[in-house]
Each structure stands twice: as C-alpha cells, then as structure tokens.
C-alpha cells in the first residue's frame, strides 16, 4: 500500500512524495520529492499523470 502526500516547501512551492505503508498499515518515511509545483492542485494533477494507480482512476481517500 502506498499514498501520495503533497508537501509545502520552505520556499512556498509544493511537491508530492510517495509514502509506503508497512505490513501492519503504519505509514513509513516519505520518499524523495517528485518535482516542484506552484500549487497543491498542480502537484496533485502531476501525480495523477505519473503515478500508475492514480492514473488508473483509483478513488481518492483521506
């Protein structure tokens, strides 16, 4: 299991990171930044294009 998190950087721009879960469902450390974007919406849109399971139309979850 994996999720995408959007993070605001210190410079006010945004990035997204992939964050895996372990076998017990606890979230692990986020991976590296995946790009630099002007807004959280732009970061999400880019993640939807690059992450296969988001691109595949998986539903959003909180």
| Domain-wise residue ranges, the chain | 2-55
CA 19 to chain CA centroid, nearest Å: 7
CB 56 within 8 A of CB 19: no
- The per-residue pLDDT for 9 is 97
CB 16 within 8 A of CB 54: no
Task: Please state, in angstroms and rounded to a whole number, the distance separating the CA atoms of residues 11 and 48.
Answer: 23
Q: 36-55 pLDDT, tens per residue?
A: 999 999 999 999 999 998 87
pTM score of the predicted model: 0.81
Task: Please state, in angstroms and rounded to a whole number, the distance separating the CA atoms of residues 16 and 35.
Answer: 7
């Amino acid at each position: 299991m994996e999720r995408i998190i959007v993070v605001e950087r210190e410079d006010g721009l945004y990035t997204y990171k992939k964050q895996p879960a372990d076998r017990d469902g606890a979230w692990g450390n986020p991976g590296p930044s995946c790009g630099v974007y002007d807004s959280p919406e732009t970061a999400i849109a880019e993640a939807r294009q690059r992450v296969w399971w988001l691109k595949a139309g998986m539903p959003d979850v909180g």
